[in-house]
Every structure is written in structure tokens, then in C-alpha cells.
Amino acid sequence: MNIYAFPLLAFVLPWVVIPVLKPASINMIFTLGKNVLIANCLLFFLIGSPSVSYALEGADTCAPRDLSDVARSLFNMKPKKEKNSAIFVAPVFNSSPTTGFVFGITGQGAFQVPGSKISAFQANIQYTTKAQVLIFLRNNIYINKSKIFLSGDWRYFKYSEPTYGLGTNAPEGSIVNKINFNGQTMPTDSLAQPMTFNYFKLHQTASWSVGNGFYVGPGIHLDTYDHIHDLSLDTVSTVKKYTSHYTYSLKHGFNPTHYTMMGVSLNLMYDTRDNMVNTEKGMFANLNFRTNPTWLGSDKSSSVLWAEFRAFKKIVPNKNQHVLGVWLIGNFVTGGDVPYLALPAIGYDQRSRSGRGYTNGRFRGEQLVDMEAEYRFPIMCNQLISGVVFGSAITTTNKAANVNLFDYLRPAGGVGLRFLFNKKAKMNMSIDYAFGQNSSGFYFGASEVF
């Protein structure tokens, strides 16, 4: 196969899943053209370099080399025993007109309980000069010889975030370029409806192996929002201004200043991945059906289905790292009424990684489907530096406006670099440039996006 065929994925992927679009969506394709061209020029430059051509066409003859190996070479340090664990810690610095100056620390790790598959965790704490707080604790842990799988997402936000209304055709504006570290940004947009709120989230599942890669178990889920302020809301002036959040809350019987959703779930999982931190082969599938009865503390009864599928395949025979990955997410309100901020939204998966190219919460609705694909390839023979090219398409609903899934899609795409942080755990540091419609940004993190 010609090595230059792979970068063409950057052109194809954002549109490969797009059916016949409504006329309002056609202009979106032309808007993306410039960003696609820029990304592909960068990718062709990388692919065309001698080291990349060797990595694509030559044999896998180089021993893996990570950043610690480079550091030891530079400072003449003695080699250390390789470990099946890695911890990446980095400061977080950012700023925006809404949040002010942001500072904090983030940490991600991979480790292996003896006799079990590799596990991963992430912790993050940020504070802003406008007294905003973001705290994360996420876990995906195999224990007891991989017979038990624990997966959790715990958060506390004292936060600000805009909303744009429901549906993928929500008002289009000029979202500023942004820098994102593992999750959170705040764009400025004349069409955005800025909000501030406190958010506490505790989601935890425990699943037991039933054989052949299948796991089944229960989960507990709590989402509580309070001190909600619609900064664009004006109900007292002669010319009143109502926001999407306010009108939705009143229509569905929620207090627009605070609400709670508390429930339990049944979790079904299938996992044959060789390494959850950096997968080269295998599949992962997850179905989580959650019910939120009022007797558990929910303001209104509801049920929600989360469906997720990931598949990975080596696409160059006898080669490591040449991997094509596919990531599909479906999040559906299946019954009752869900509070506005708890509706399915892009960027609210466990690791806040979906929807690269758009800010978190940019698209929201009663139902959401996100489709992503990524090609991963080596740049250096020793795997110290590698690259990715990716594309995605997002669709959401707005029942009140008769907007259904796939009526409108918003594609995105981009390119990225990976730096091998720990060769034993195959953990990378990552930097991606992603673009969507009127939106682009840089994303920094550790480990793969999916």
C-alpha cells in the first residue's frame, strides 16, 4: 500500500459517515476546507520525512525508546529497571475572559495489579482567579486477576460554561481558538449563553467477569447542580430575554436554579483490548442502563442509556503502531425528563475527550451520537515520536424543534503528535490540533484519546 494513502483519511473521515444533509449544513463543508488543507499539509510533511518513510516501509528493528531513556542519555544516568507503571504529572496554566487566569495540576497514571490487565487513573485540580474550582478523579481499574473491573468518574465543579441550545443545528457563532488540557475550556462567543453553576458528580460501577471478555455489574450515579445562574437571562426588563436553559427547565418542571438526578444502573461490558492505555488490537463495548427514580432523590423520574464501542486493528502487516481505531458513542434519554445540564452533551464522556474541535457542551440534546476514527502511525523507528490523524461527526436532537438524529451533523478533524512517556506501559504524552465548524484548538494530555 502506498504510504501516502493513509493521510487521505484526514479528508475522508469527517464526511464518510455523513448522509444527505439539509441545505443549512452544506456551508459547513466549505468552512472546514481551509482547516482540512492546513492539517493535511502538516501531515504530508511528517509522512514525507525520511524517518517516517522508514518507519512505514522498513522493518521493526529499533528498540523502543521513551523520554526517560532520552533524559538518562543526556545526563549520563544509569538505566533503571523497567516498570509496568507510569505516572505523568504536569502543571496547568490557562486564561480566558470568563475564567480569568487558571492554574492547577493534573496527573495521569497507568499501573498493573499483579495478575491483572493494565489499569489507569486520572486526577486533576484547577483554580481560577475568579474563584472557580475544577476537581476530577477518574478510575478504570482491573483487580483480582482481571475478574473485577471498577470504573468511576467523580467531579466537583464551581464552574462557568456557555450553552448554545439543543440540537446540532444550535446557533452558529465564531468560537475563538482555544487551548485545552484534558478537558476544560471557556470560549467567548456572541451567540453563546453563558452560565455559572456548581456541579457534583459521582458515577461508579463495579463489574464482574462472566467469561470470554464479558463483565456485568451494578452502578451508582449522582449528578447535582446548584447555584445555577443564566447570565444572559433577563425576566424583568421591558424587553425580556429568555435562555435555552431557563425555558427548557420551566417547560419540563425543573427549578432553573438547582436540580438533582440520582440513580442506579446495570452495566454490561466487553473488553478484549491488549492495553487500555494505548490499544493496538481488540475491542471494547459498554452498555449502561441507568434509572433515576424520585424515591432515590431525583427531582423527576427518568432513564438514560449509554452505549459505547471501540475497535482497533493493525492495518500494516507485521507492523506495530500502524493502528486504525474507531470510537462510537450513543447517549439517549429513554424515558422521563432529564435536567438541561444533565442532557447528553459532547465532551461529557468519562475522560472529557469526545468531540475534539469543539468545546465541551457545544452540542447537547435528548439524544446524541458521536462517531470518531483515528489512524495512529510511527514517526521515529524507536517509537519515541508518533503521530495521529483523526476525524469525527456529531449529531444531537431537539425534540421541541423536531430536530432528529442525523438531520444535521457537525464534522471535525485534526492531527497530533505522541511522545512515548513510558515504553513498558506504552503511555504517551499527546498534543493534538483539532478543528470543527468555526472552532479549533490545541489539546494536551497523557495517554490516547480513546
C-alpha gyration radius of the chain: 22
| Cα–Cα dist 235/291, whole Å | 34
Sign of CA dihedral 6, 10, 11, 15: positive
Cβ-in-10-Å burial (0-12, 13-18, 19+) of 188 comes to middle
Non-local (6+) Cβ contacts of 78 within 8 A are 72
How much is the pLDDT for 443? Answer: 83
186 pLDDT more than 70: no
pLDDT, tens only, 272-315: 999 888 899 999 999 999 999 999 999 999 999 999 999 999 98
Which of 146, 114, 140, 287 lies closest to 210 in space, CA to CA? 146
The values of phi and psi at residue 3, to 5°, are: -65, -25
Whether residue 29 is predicted with pLDDT greater than 50 in this model: the reply is: no
Confidence band for 316, pLDDT divided at 50, 70 and 90:
confident
Report whether pLDDT(23) > 70.
no
181, pLDDT greater than 50: no
Instruction: Quote the CA–CA distance of 381 and 190 in Å, as a whole number.
Output: 47
% of the chain residues with pLDDT over 90? 48
Residue 59 has which C-alpha cell? 522493518
Distance CA(72)–CA(228), nearest Å, equals 51
Q: Span 69-94, mean pLDDT?
A: 73
Q: What is the DSSP letter of 166?
A: S
DSSP bridge partners of 64: none
For residue 234, CA distances in Å to 229, 237, 239, 241 come to 11, 6, 8, 5
Task: State the residue for C-alpha cell 512505514.
Answer: 56
Determine the Cα–Cα distance for residues 62 and 344; give it in Å rounded to an integer. 45
Count the neighbouring beta carbons within 10 Å of the beta carbon of residue 95: 14
Domains in the chain (CATH in brackets) are 3-446 (2.40.160.50)
Output the nine-digit C-alpha cell for 436.
Answer: 470543527
Task: Please state which of the ranges 21-30, 73-82, 132-141, 211-220 shows the lowest mean pLDDT.
Answer: 21-30
Total residues belonging to the chain: 450
> What's the mean pLDDT in 229-253?
91
CA separation for the pair 189, 175 (Å, rounded): 5
**For residue 100, what pLDDT band results from cuts at 50, 70 and 90?**
low
Between 112 and 137, residue with greater pLDDT: 137
Q: Phi/psi at 153 (nearest 5 deg)? A: -140, 105
